[in-house]
A = this chain, B = another copy of it.
């Protein structure tokens, strides 16, 4: 497993022109992969979109897989940072969750390709795929554990909770953002929060 090691054959471009070309290729790849998926996208599609010659691709990336992995890692990092920044100011768990969910929906609204890319990752590089969710889950578990210790939410296995919450976010993002092509209306967000927070708080008629 070496999906975290940086591409062997190809070094980072030193000059500005190179930097730009490399970025153009990454953006083109995101668009192309988002449109037709990894497997139905050819290198030619990417270079055509980036408006460079075929051979240029291999100046920057050693393979199709490599640019894909790079893309997943970059965007994954962007997303996590976006969410972290969004929840930074809040201490109450309800506020944290609402801010987190909202910024997640915003992000995928701006990066609709993201979904398809992550989903394909499973087939391109299973390790990368698990790494992606594991990173997320780890952050989530950490936050939940703190909230539990602070008595903000009840004491349920945070690993289980993390995957529940990620699943909720993922499916709502699919249903409302991807399918309807818009961020969920406040009413939807409210309903989700209602459901989620009761679940986290516990209580209710349950037993």
Contacts and interface: CB of A to CB of B under 8 A. Distances in A.
Given A36-B1, A42-B1, A188-B160, A204 B197 contact: yes
Interface string A160-201: 110110111111101100010000000110011011111111
A203 interface: yes
Contacts of A106: none
A52 interface: no
* Interface of A: prevailing SS: helix
Contact of A194 (B94, B116, B187, B202): B202
A119 interface: yes
Stoichiometry, as copies per complex, reads: 4
Contacts of A82: none
A192 B119 contact: no
Contact of A204 (B42, B156, B202): B202
A199 to B, nearest CB: 3
A130 interface: yes
A21 interface: no
A191 B202 CA distance: 11
Interface in A35-54: 36-42, 44-45
A205 interface: yes
A97 to B, nearest CB: 12
Contact of A41 (B1, B160, B164, B166): B1
Contact of A198 (B187, B191, B202): B202
Nearest to A195: B199
A32 to B, nearest CB: 9
Contact of A45 (B1, B41, B161, B174): B1
